[in-house]
Structure 1
Amino acid sequence: MDRISAMPKAILHDILARLPHKEAAKTIALSKTWRDTWYSFPNLFVHWAYFFTKDDVPLGKSHRLGKSRRLGKSHMFSGLDNLIDYVTKRLLGLCDQGLALEEFNLNLGDLVDPALVSFHLDQWIRMAGEIGVKVLGLNLSSDYGRWDLPLCAIEAKSLTKLHLGNGIRIGQEFLKHFMKLSSVKMLSLTHVLFAHERIIEPFISHCSLTEHLTMYHCYIYNHLSREVPLESLFLHGLQKLKEVDLTGIQEVHIDSPNLENLCYTTLNCNAPFKLNFDSCTALRSLILIHLQNIANVDKWFLELFSKHPFLESLEILGCSMPERIDISSAQLKVLKLTFCSNLKEVNIDAPNLLSFYYHGADKPVISFMRSSDLLKVRVVTDVDFEHFYSLRESIWNIPQKILASLSLFIKRSFLEYGYAYLPELQVSSIPPSIKHLVVRVPDPDHQALYGRLMNYLFSSCFPKRISFTCGDHYNDTFIEFFYDMLMGSKKEECHCSSSDTKCWWHALKIVEISSSFMTNQNMDVKDMRDVWQLFCDEKATFRLEL
């Protein structure tokens, strides 16, 4: 007896919602019950890949029905006909049953010119609004002419989330029509074209309940009727606005006192930009990406935390910085610096900081004036022989309290650049301990230098855990070497002094090998080699204890 099919339709709908869209659609072949369940399912997801293949020839404006068939493109039009028939039947089925539409997402990709389906698009949007659509997402082709968004798209009183993507134009008629997007809480505009810049402000401002706004590389017509990037944006009067994500706008002014999260990426990282969010005093998270030539950075950092006293998370990615920055905040909990050029010194005075992340090729000196006992530090960097001593100096200058939470990820081995003659290194004492060290395995061609490489690493820091990743090549020879070195068979190669103070090698007590694929047992080197041969992305992880 099929007990699942006998369950209430609400439960069957919940099952469909948990399946990938394409797999959920296949349930119509199981039985009449599942077919009826599918056609009453309130979520409608339509993706071009369900009806076409990547090898299909695009249907452009010149590829009309008769001509395309003469050219042998009937398969493509068959796919388009199936898509149109499928969407229309699904919407009519919900309408006939008096059921509401929770979500309608349509993605036509780059295969279909919106002009070929514009009539149906208008019809679908109208029908979706009539049956109470709550979430509407439209992503059309970016290679052909744009489809004009119909006014009925903004008249659905039930609409709470609206995403407009490629191939969509918001026309002049929106200037004359009273906006009715008062129920929309989440608005996302990606590669959307506005017929006039005066449309943008009323279009957004009439979304008075909007809490989340995303704008990604939108355009307007200039006086020559050409599409040009949107250059400026003024957001004001949105009292409910909590999150803003903007990309590709050089001048931004935000006046939203309840804004909590802001992410901003410039259009042209080499051009001047203006970003004013001074009135957003409730801001808690700020992400800045690809900003260059920030004027008066020291003053900017100082004023940032005084103007936004609740700021807890700050992330700066790909920005041009001065050689030294000072960050002082009693509220800051998360700080991320990723590929910030020119940076040589970072001074952090944040007693409540819980997480610090640095990723970049440079090796700035990072100092913590005050820090929390719960702080976790993660550093991801490239290291070759040329940068070794700066790495060693940076680590040895960090207080042990901070080092105990440090996870260091070295993406490039010292041997990558062919330094055939690394000088000998005298290791006469145990270096400072860190939480975790991750290193990309060196090239198999440098076996003679493995021991010297590890001496260099362990003279900088002693990790409680050390992991090795394959990188671009598989090398179990190095893992076997390292295992033998830890287990003592190569201790005669140690260069520590003959005094009572011994190096990490002699002080080592416990060595354990682990893998996420074999968590219930302590592995040996053979187990690790077998796992690594099957899963090249797997890490060989050693737990060490002095």
Structure 2
Amino acid sequence: MDKISELPKDILQRILYFLSQKEAIRTSLLSKSWRYTWCTRLNVDLDFSDVAFKKNKQKFIFVVNDTLQRYRDQRLCVEEFHLRISLGDMFNDLDHESVSLLEKWIPLLTVMGMKKFRLSVRSGHRSVKLPPVIFGAVSLQDLHLESFYFDRKAIERMLLFKHLKSLRLDKVCIEDEIFDKIIANFPSIETLAVEECIWLRTIKVDDLHNLKYLFFKMSYITRGEEELCRIEIHPSPSLETIDITNCNLWFHKGVDFRNLKELSLCHVTLSLDHLSSCKFPSLEYLKIFGWPGLRDSHLFIDAPNILYFQFAQDFVASISFAPTSGEWESDILLNFELSHVTSANIDHYLYSKWDRVRIEFLWKILMQRETGKEDQFSFRDLEEARMEIRGINQEEWHPISLSELPNDQERGYHFIRFALKWRQTL
């Protein structure tokens, strides 16, 4: 006897609360009691993708309509709503019918307490116009838009979003003026993520007093530095994380990033003088990748509480840190994963993949300091270097020479590292 199916409906809904939407839908096959229970799970996220309906547009629309109507009739909340539409497969365009459905669904979801909304259009290399109705859902706390282009009409009647904490724009086409107006209407935003968005030329992060997390990434290859988007980051005591890839970055000279804990700079152009003059009293994680401007310059980082530093480039850069309050670790990746370094204050440990040719090559580089030869790989401030080994089940490291390295059959059961000691410089 199926006693579970005889439980009250509110108990069945409580059971479904702990299941994913996909798992909940499967319960509709159990019995009549379960058939439509999944449609009105309590305080959950609804995720609809036309891919699951195999290009059956009418069935897709019916299911979304029917589900929302059930929630509305029972006065239930929908906290999260994800909608994924494929253009060119199911919709030839974001046609009038689709726009009218969004104009119907979004206000309805707002009344039902929607806090998080993600709208994604898969359209190959095309972007479609963003329906203006989206900027009427002022109760939103999290908004994620993907593969749209923004025009002035979309923001003509835009209201103030007092509750929005997170905005993510992915593969959207948006001009500076429109972007600025959108940001101006999100005074409480804490997370701003912009990825692969074209048309943007300048982003100014100056009036976002609650911003904690800033993420910007452009993955396409530009033809010149002038084509990169410029990001101007002004002093903000709330900033905790900055993660920037492929852009022209600008800091005020002498800025005190008092609460910044993570800074990641990948393929950026930035004034070294401005960065060296900044203070990072709370910075714990610093990553610098692909920065050609460091080749013939010196970078100083004032981060007394640094815990981890990672650097990847095809040359050894001149980088120094202010005195630190304790031990910290670093990874130095040279010539595309040629080496791997970790550090603890003055003593640094450089690990290599277990490969004799690679180990011999790295050891030759380290020994160049004794011959006085210097090239792009030389370690100018290296005072002492030694090779060490330990077994896979051992804790202690022991000095070893190249001639004493294990043979090919044994190498998989050992770890090799280079212990480096640097000169203390002022």
Same fold (TM over 0.5): yes
Find the counterpart in structure 1 of residue 25 from structure 2: 25
Pairwise CA RMSD of aligned residues? Answer: 3.9
Which residue of the partner structure matches residue 250 of structure 2? 275
Identity %: 20
Which amino acid letter does the alignment assign opposite residue 200 of structure 2?
L
Give the superposition deviation at 1:342: 2.1
Is residue 2:313 matched to residue 1:332? no
Is the deviation greater in 36-45 or in 184-193?
A: 36-45
Question: What residue in structure 1 maps to residue 410 of structure 2?
Answer: 482
Structure 2 residue identity aligned to 1:318:
G
Q: Could you say which residue in structure 1 is the equivalent of 2:283?
A: 311
Aligned to 1:101: 78
Structure 2 CA distance, aligned partners of 1:153 and 1:279? 37
Q: What secondary structure sits across from 2:107 in the alignment? A: helix
Query: Equivalent residue of 1:119, what SS?
Result: helix
- The alignment status of 1:217 with 2:191, answered yes or no, reads no
Q: Distance in 2 between matches of 1:300 and 1:395?
A: 35
Residue in 1 aligned with 2:245?
265
Q: Pick from 135, 139, 146: which aligns with 2:120? A: 139
2:18 matches 1:48 = no
Distance 2:324 2:213 in 1: 25
Shift of the alpha carbon at 1:29? Answer: 1.6
- Displacement of 1:542 in angstroms is 5.9
Q: Aligned-pair distance for 1:301?
A: 5.4
C-alpha separation between the residues in 2 aligned to 1:236 and 1:326?
A: 25
The 2-side partners of 1:318 and 1:26 are apart by 48
**C-alpha deviation, 1:239, in angstroms:** 1.6
Provide the residue aligned with 1:224 in structure 2: none
Instruction: Please give the secondary structure, in 1, of the residue aligned with 2:362.
Output: helix
Distance 2:74 2:365 in 1: 72
* Count of paired positions: 370
| SS of the residue 1:12 aligns to | helix
In the aligned structure 2, how far is the partner of 1:335 from the partner of 1:461? 32
What is the distance in 1 between the residues matched to 2:306 and 2:150?
41
Q: 1:135 to 1:251 in 2, by over 3 A?
A: same
Residue 184 (structure 2) aligns with:
205
Q: 1:432 maps to which residue?
A: 388
- CA distance in 2 between counterparts of 1:205 and 1:140 reads 25
Question: Are the equivalent residues in 2 in contact too, given 1:396–1:432 (CA < 8 A)?
Answer: no
Other-structure match for 2:231: 252
**Who is 2:373 aligned against?**
none
Q: Using the alignment, how far apart are the partners of 1:390 and 1:358 within structure 2?
A: 13
> Alignment partner of 2:18: what SS?
helix
Residue of structure 2 in register with 1:183 after alignment: 163
2:51 maps to amino acid: A
- CA contact under 8 A between 2:145 and 2:169: conserved in structure 1? yes
**TM-score, scaled to structure 2:** 0.73
SS in 2 for 1:8: helix
Would the alpha carbon gap of residues 90 and 435 (structure 1) be closer, same or farther in structure 2, given more than 3 Å must change?
A: farther
Are 1:149 and 2:169 an aligned pair?
no
Deviations 1:40-79 (A, max 9, x none): 0232111233122xxxxxxxxxxxxxxxxxxxxxxx4xx2
Does the CA-based 8 Å contact 1:139-1:165 persist in structure 2? yes
The counterpart of 1:243, out of the listed 176, 190, 213, is: 213
Note if contact 1:344-1:364 (Cα within 8 Å) is conserved in structure 2: no
What secondary structure does 1:291 align onto?
strand
The structure that has the greater radius of gyration is 1
Q: Counterpart in 1 of 2:103?
A: 122
Structure 1 residue aligned with 2:316? 343
Offset of residue 154 of structure 1 = 2.6
How far the C-alpha of 1:100 sits from its partner, in A, is: 1.3
Q: Do 2:135 and 2:155's aligned partners in 1 also have CA atoms closer than 8 Å?
A: no
1:288 aligned residue: 265
Equivalent pair of 1:334/1:355 in contact (CA under 8 Å): yes
Which residue number corresponds to residue 359 of structure 1? 333
Q: Which of the pair has the greater relative contact order for Cα pairs under 8 Å at 6+ separation?
A: 2
The answer (yes or no) to whether the contact 1:140–1:165 under 8 Å persists in 2 is: yes
Q: 2:168–2:192: 8 Å Cα contact kept in structure 1?
A: yes
